[in-house]
């Protein structure tokens, strides 16, 4: 249990379809016209956000702080992708998720993702203070 009413074993998902906008070729992360690793990572982050952010008090959100991901299978354009996240550890405001991604045939990615609970206004102020003047 945490001060934010989150609990280990919470789950979330995110879905997309492979298209021109999320291929390795489009991201510049490869020369092949298949689902790109950056797109898979973003989908895994979205699944993690969907797991916990809705249960945080108003004015709070999470930001990604660490990823350890393997992209283990290619997915061509036209296929659907589902990413899932399971909250596996709560350490104060640091959250650890087990993340996986599947296309319609097989598992295409897996790993862990860490997010940190932030107070939005305070976070935005600190970021703005870094702006070049």
What's the alpha-carbon Rg for the chain, to the nearest Å?
Answer: 16
Catalytic one of 16, 45, 62, 75:
45
DSSP state string for the chain: --TTS--TT-EEEEEEE--GGGBHHHHTS-SSSBB-HHHHHHHHHHHHHHHHGGGSPTTEEEEEEEEEEEE-S--BTT-EEEEEEEEEEEETTEEEEEEEEE-SSSEEEEEEEEEEEEEHHHHHHHHHHTS--
* Domain that residue 30 falls in: 11-129
Q: Tell me how many domains the chain contains.
A: 1
What average pLDDT does range 35-41 have in this prediction?
Answer: 98
Classify residue 43: in a domain, yes or no: yes
- Buried (b) or exposed (e) across 73-91, using 16+ Cβ within 10 A? eebeeebebbbbbbbeebe
- Give the span between the Cα atoms of 28 and 2, in whole angstroms: 40
Classify residue 15: in a domain, yes or no: yes
Query: For residues 42 and 1, which has the higher predicted lDDT (pLDDT)?
Result: 42
pLDDT digits (tens, 9 = 90+) for 65-100: 999 999 999 999 999 999 999 999 999 999 999 999
112 tagged catalytic: no
Classify residue 1: in a domain, yes or no: no
Q: Is the pLDDT of residue 51 over 80?
A: yes
Q: Tell me the CATH number at 112.
A: 3.10.129.10
Catalytic one of 51, 71, 100, 113:
71
Classify residue 2: in a domain, yes or no: no
Q: Is the pLDDT of residue 133 over 80?
A: no
Classify residue 47: in a domain, yes or no: yes
Q: Is the pLDDT of residue 1 over 70?
A: no
Classify residue 4: in a domain, yes or no: no
Lowest mean pLDDT among 10-19, 24-33, 96-105: 24-33
Classify residue 6: in a domain, yes or no: no
| pTM of the entire predicted model | 0.94
What average pLDDT does range 24-50 have in this prediction?
Answer: 96
pLDDT digits (tens, 9 = 90+) for 101-116: 999 999 999 999 999 9
Classify residue 77: in a domain, yes or no: yes
The average confidence (pLDDT) of the chain is 95
Q: Is the pLDDT of residue 2 over 60?
A: no
71 tagged catalytic: yes
Q: Which of 88, 89, 92, 108 is CA-nearest to residue 100? A: 108
pLDDT at 131: 73
């Amino acid at each position: 249990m945490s001060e934010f009413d989150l609990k280990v074993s919470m789950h979330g998902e995110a879905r997309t379809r492979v298209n021109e906008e999320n291929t390795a070729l489009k991201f510049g992360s490869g020369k092949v016209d298949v689902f790109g690793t950056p797109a898979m990572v973003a989908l895994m982050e979205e699944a993690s956000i969907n797991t916990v952010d809705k249960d945080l008090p108003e004015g709070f959100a999470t930001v990604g702080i660490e990823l350890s991901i393997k992209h283990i299978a290619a997915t061509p354009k036209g296929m659907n992708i589902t990413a899932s996240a399971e909250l596996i550890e709560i350490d104060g405001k640091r959250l650890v998720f087990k993340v996986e991604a599947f296309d319609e045939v097989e598992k295409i990615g897996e790993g862990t993702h860490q997010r940190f609970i932030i107070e939005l206004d305070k976070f935005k102020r600190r970021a703005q203070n870094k702006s070049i003047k």
